[in-house]
A and B are shown apart, each in its own frame.
Chain A
Amino acid sequence: MALALQDIRIVDLSRIWAGPYGTKLLADMGAEVVKIEALDRLDPHRGAVRPQAGTGNYPDGEPGNDPWNRNGWFNSLHQNKYGITLNLSHAQGKEVFRELIAMSDVVIENFRRGVLDRLGFTYEELKKIRPDIVVVSMPAFGNKGIWKDYIQYGIGQEQLAGVDSMGGYSVAEGPIKSGINHGDPITGSHAAGAILASLMYRRRTGKSVFIDLSQLDSSISLMGEHLLDFQMSGKNPTTTGNQHHSFAPQGVFPCSGEDEWVAISVTSDSEWQKFAEAIGHPDIGLNTRFADSFSRKQNEPELFPLITEWTENKNKFEITNTLQIAGIPAAPVMTNEDIYDDPHYQSRSLMEISDHPSTDIQLLPGVGWKMSKTTSEIRWHAPRLGEHNEFIFRDLVGLSEDYIASLINEGVSGTQPVGA
């Protein structure tokens, strides 16, 4: 099957999660992504070069001889990419980098602001090498503004974007962070979109594009209605826990088993009638104190014990099925294990087989959508450190064997990290 983006080449200097997530989306659809790491500065998601026992995410907890090639976090974000090592502080490294830029469409980086400039690769310089280059620069706070030199991770972007200010079990108990560093995938996906929109512009106009992607701007862009809400009401939005602000009952209820839960929402009067019947209390469905959305919301806490009584000895999947058949929104609260084993996700091929020489076969998440005429399956495993040095240096850039040997001898490139 064809690949949607096979005629795009991206030089990827991004690290950790945000940038690599963005380039993963594009690599899965066929873009040729060349990820550059330095032997003394691996992508932190490869983990420590000499990890302590019991830390990290290695097959069966064993770091093995090459832990940097065996980290699940790294390996699930870099399938379908090429991996090379190159020291950009070194003159030879810069020379190879320039040759690579000259034959590429896009450069993406999420260093601290100014790092790439100090290495000698400003946007102006990159344009001299490749006049129609697309550059995506994604520092935490962008390339301009009084906070431009501040640093941040996805965990803090979620807080600064206002997400956490309206979270938590109740207002009195204060905010609760999300279970992930939410700023990263938000920014990564926006970066992937920025690359494609810029390439479409370039195809039309022949012009280069510089994208200033502030991770903070990107995260706040998902909070638009809440910023308007404050201006309309003069009040900051506050948490309603697992309840909905208008319809009821809604909540997360315990099920049979340890730490098992089901999420139920009754969004209309007709759903309420069916729900009352489903939980074996058709009488409450007729009770005027719960007859409409407003009165149900007023008296919602009274319903929780009745619902819990019905859910607590039942399986979360069976409850979901019963309620969905009755037309009521319900879902099991899924663990990572549940998702891995779930027939629906399996039927959608969420997890795909990835055979990796340092980890053997693992199931890893694919791109997360389906295209009818192009493929996005895992074509090859995440690169071991410097795995594609030869292919990129010799076959793509056209460097001589001698030159490649000198890169290795000078420590500009290689496959063993510093400190191994």
Chain B
Amino acid sequence: MSENDSTIQNSPEPNLLSGISVIELGDEISAAYCTKMMAYLGADVLKIERPLVGDSARSVGPFPDSAPNIEKSALFLYLNTGKKSITLNLESSSGQKIFKSLIEQADLVVENLPPGKLESLNLDYIHLSSINPDIVMTSVSDFGQTGPYKNYKATPLQHYAFGGLMYITGLPDREPLQMKPRLPEYGVAQNAFVASLSALWYRDSTGIGQHVDISTAEYSASILENGLSMYSYTGNKLGRSGNKGYGRAAWGIYTCKDGFVGVIAGPEHKWSAMAELMDEPRLADEKYTERSGRQIYAEEIETLMEPWLMSHNKQEIFEQAQKLGLAFAYVATPEDILNWEHLDNRGYFTEISHPNAGSYKYAGAAFQAEGIEPYWQRAPILGEHNDEVLLPIIENLKMDIQDLKLEKTI
């Protein structure tokens, strides 16, 4: 611990989730993003990590200078802002006793261990609720706690494949494609946030806690636009249409002078602005106005758009189209995003300094509550809060701290 940040204070009141006590047993994204949101909304989040190695996100990177270091992984630094970290070996009986002591004071446990793991340690919901009857526990997993595939293993590639997002991404005559950002895992963490708060709301209304079982697979399958209802209604299969959404022109990504832009024409009444924007009267042809026309005549439209797109930059295309009321976008890079004045106007970024990793601009809160500041604090060093959190418990349980360290319980 460095001298200038030795005290991490609890989030000051008032914040949306002040007073909520959360324990996270999280690895990588699908639990940690859920509890990251809780932390910046003022909940006290205690992250329990494996001794010595910690959360795998610490080993994933990317790292400054591509040099692996468990205190410098971008994935870990981002996902764990505002949390405390303790190390605890849940396989050992003394580790389990300490864990149970922590549970007595907690409102919520969020975990994403492999299904069945906590049961094998007698630390599943049934056991935890016998210690703390109104506790809420949220279990996030790849495929769910039940069902024939519950023990299947998955990396981000399998998340995209099994949830149905991959099949509809890519070109029709090529293999289906994953996306680089790990959106299914972030998405299930978002929904775990919703489910956890719903369970806490119910507990506050009735005094009854419960267990939430939520999976990345089901999250992904439930956001396939109308894919599942379409199959029920019509028997039609979704396919891939590359950068031409639904096979239509002007609903996707196009090349421009310095990069790629989102030409997004929107509803029929806005189509006439396309011809004006691109200074191409032939685009005003009525046959292109309806969405069905933009599908049938997609190639014609694209030929007409190309000269203007190729002679303008992404930023100017975006701005000029928006000024005409067209919802254009562009394919922004992280570098572009970090430099947007709009986000600075919103106070979106926060500069956060970490004693090992250095100081960076961090992406901000997903939403802003007027008059309430999010709680921003750097991610913890592995086991940084062992003394603060564990010493009173160890004393109370009459355990010997040296023994616990020797047997790598903490």
A38 proximity list for chain B (CB < 8 A): none
Within 8 A of B (CB), among A198-219: 198-201, 203-205, 209-214, 216-218
B64 proximity list for chain A (CB < 8 A): 232-233
Further contacts, 5 of them, CB under 8 A, given A197-B16, A229-B74, A372-B213:
A58-B234, A156-B329, A223-B337, A331-B152, A331-B162
Pairwise interchain contact A232-B74, C-beta atoms closer than 8 A: yes
Total inter-chain residue pairs, C-beta < 8 Å: 494
Bound CA–CA A420/B281 (angstroms): 33
Which A-B residue pairs are the 4 nearest by beta carbons? A179-B168, A156-B329, A224-B78, A72-B229
B180 proximity list for chain A (CB < 8 A): 166-167, 237, 239-240
B93 proximity list for chain A (CB < 8 A): none
Q: Which residue of A lies closest to B243 (CB)?
A: A177
Q: Known contacts A228-B360, A231-B361, A372-B211; is A359 also within 8 Å of B262 by CB?
A: no
CB contact between A213 and one of B144, B174, B177, B366 (< 8 Å): that residue = B366
Bound CA–CA A145/B341 (angstroms): 8
Interface membership of chain A positions 171-206, coded 1 if the CB is closer than 8 angstroms to chain B and 0 otherwise: 000111111111001100111111011111101110
Bound CA–CA A263/B217 (angstroms): 14
Q: Which residue of A lies closest to B334 (CB)?
A: A230
Interface membership of chain A positions 21-45, coded 1 if the CB is closer than 8 angstroms to chain B and 0 otherwise: 1000110010000000000000010
- Most-contacted residue by chain B among A60, A231, A333, A374 (CB, 10 A): A333
Within 8 A of A (CB), among B30-50: 33, 37, 41
- B118 contacts the other chain (Cβ, under 8 Å)? no
A333 to chain B, nearest CB (A): 5
Pairwise interchain contact B346-A223, C-beta atoms closer than 8 A: no
CB contact between A210 and one of B63, B227, B370 (< 8 Å): that residue = B370
- A155 contacts the other chain (Cβ, under 8 Å)? yes
Bound CA–CA A136/B367 (angstroms): 9
Q: Which residue of B lies closest to A214 (CB)?
A: B346
B191 proximity list for chain A (CB < 8 A): 25, 189, 368-369
B370 proximity list for chain A (CB < 8 A): 123, 209-212
Interface membership of chain B positions 164-179, coded 1 if the CB is closer than 8 angstroms to chain A and 0 otherwise: 1111111100111111
- B66 contacts the other chain (Cβ, under 8 Å)? yes
Pairwise interchain contact B147-A57, C-beta atoms closer than 8 A: no
Pick out which of these stretches binds chain A: B3-11, B249-257, B298-306, B396-404: B249-257
Bound CA–CA A409/B326 (angstroms): 37
A214 proximity list for chain B (CB < 8 A): 346, 367-368
Size bracket of the A interface: 35 or more
Bound CA–CA A362/B337 (angstroms): 43
Pairwise interchain contact B260-A175, C-beta atoms closer than 8 A: yes
A220 to chain B, nearest CB (A): 5
Bound CA–CA A359/B215 (angstroms): 30
CB contact between B16 and one of A5, A140, A201, A218 (< 8 Å): that residue = A201
Pairwise interchain contact A163-B212, C-beta atoms closer than 8 A: no
- B288 contacts the other chain (Cβ, under 8 Å)? no
- A364 contacts the other chain (Cβ, under 8 Å)? yes
A-B contact list, 23 entries, CB within 8 Å: A60-B234, A73-B225, A136-B367, A151-B325, A160-B262, A169-B170, A201-B369, A213-B367, A213-B368, A217-B343, A221-B364, A227-B78, A231-B360, A231-B361, A241-B177, A252-B176, A329-B157, A333-B176, A336-B224, A339-B227, A364-B229, A368-B221, A370-B213
A222 proximity list for chain B (CB < 8 A): 33, 181, 183, 186-187
A181 proximity list for chain B (CB < 8 A): 225, 245
- A312 contacts the other chain (Cβ, under 8 Å)? no
CB contact between A159 and one of B63, B168, B331 (< 8 Å): that residue = B331
Q: Known contacts A166-B181, A167-B180, A217-B367; is A233 also within 8 Å of B327 by CB?
A: no
Pairwise interchain contact A163-B245, C-beta atoms closer than 8 A: no
Bound CA–CA A156/B148 (angstroms): 37
Q: Known contacts A156-B329, A218-B366, A344-B147; is A145 also within 8 Å of B176 by CB?
A: no
B17 to chain A, nearest CB (A): 6
Pairwise interchain contact A340-B228, C-beta atoms closer than 8 A: yes
Pick out which of these stretches binds chain B: A92-100, A280-288, A347-355, A395-403: A347-355
Q: Which residue of B lies closest to A241 (CB)?
A: B177
Q: Known contacts A76-B226, A252-B161, A350-B221; is A190 also within 8 Å of B190 by CB?
A: yes
Pairwise interchain contact B212-A369, C-beta atoms closer than 8 A: yes
Pairwise interchain contact A179-B201, C-beta atoms closer than 8 A: no
B225 proximity list for chain A (CB < 8 A): 17, 73, 180-181
Bound CA–CA A359/B233 (angstroms): 8
Pick out which of these stretches binds chain A: B94-102, B202-210, B382-390: B202-210
A273 proximity list for chain B (CB < 8 A): none
Interface membership of chain B positions 36-73, coded 1 if the CB is closer than 8 angstroms to chain A and 0 otherwise: 01000100000000000000000000111110000000
Q: Which residue of B lies closest to A140 (CB)?
A: B327
Pairwise interchain contact A152-B327, C-beta atoms closer than 8 A: yes
Pairwise interchain contact B190-A229, C-beta atoms closer than 8 A: no
Bound CA–CA A163/B179 (angstroms): 8
Q: Known contacts A155-B251, A178-B165, A193-B194; is A225 also within 8 Å of B75 by CB?
A: yes
Q: Known contacts A153-B266, A200-B201, A203-B204; is A75 also within 8 Å of B332 by CB?
A: no
Bound CA–CA A147/B344 (angstroms): 11
A4 proximity list for chain B (CB < 8 A): 198-199, 201-202
Bound CA–CA A212/B329 (angstroms): 21
Bound CA–CA A53/B374 (angstroms): 51
B161 proximity list for chain A (CB < 8 A): 252, 261-263, 331-334
Within 8 A of A (CB), among B251-301: 251-253, 255, 260, 262, 264, 266-267, 290-292
B160 proximity list for chain A (CB < 8 A): 263
- B362 contacts the other chain (Cβ, under 8 Å)? yes
